[in-house]
Amino acid sequence: MNVPENLRYTSDHEWILLEGDVAKVGITDHAQEELTDVVFVELPDEGRACDAEDPVAVVESVKAASDIYAPIAGEIVEGNAELEGDPSLANTDPYGAGWIFKIRVKDVADVEALLSPDDYKALLG
């Protein structure tokens, strides 16, 4: 299971990468394996304010549709438009080109409070 060391994680199997005051968010390798082939991604509305754990996007696969939650409070600043044309990027490159959205972070401390790579690995068992 691929769990990059430079990211933080949620128990909902999302990852977050802080870049200044904006964080990139996507689904983990574990999540994409569980979903199987992703066929559609409903991106969040740019400019939308959200609280932690608000549903902001949807990933649909041949197996299921799953809500994607905001891991932290903030404002959605961008959805990954590449996923609209090629949703399989969520499977083939979940930590790179398959990111789902970017959020302007309300409080950077919220990011540090998320799961560390070791904590996420422990969650996976």
pLDDT of the chain, 125 residues: tens digit per residue? 799 999 999 999 999 999 999 999 999 999 999 999 999 999 999 999 999 999 999 999 999 999 999 999 999 999 999 999 999 999 999 999 999 999 999 999 999 999 999 999 999 99
So what's the pLDDT on residue 1?
A: 79
**What distance in Å separates the CA atoms of residue 103 and residue 115, rounded to the nearest whole number?**
18
Domain assignments of the chain as residue spans, ordered by start: 8-108
Coil vs helix vs strand at 55: strand
Residue position matching structure tokens 């608000």:
54
Cβ proximity of 42 and 18 under 8 Å: no
So what's the pLDDT on residue 35?
A: 95
Residue position matching structure tokens 């983990």:
28
Please state the pTM of the whole predicted model: 0.96
Name the CATH topology of 8-108. OB fold (Dihydrolipoamide Acetyltransferase, E2P) (2.40.50)
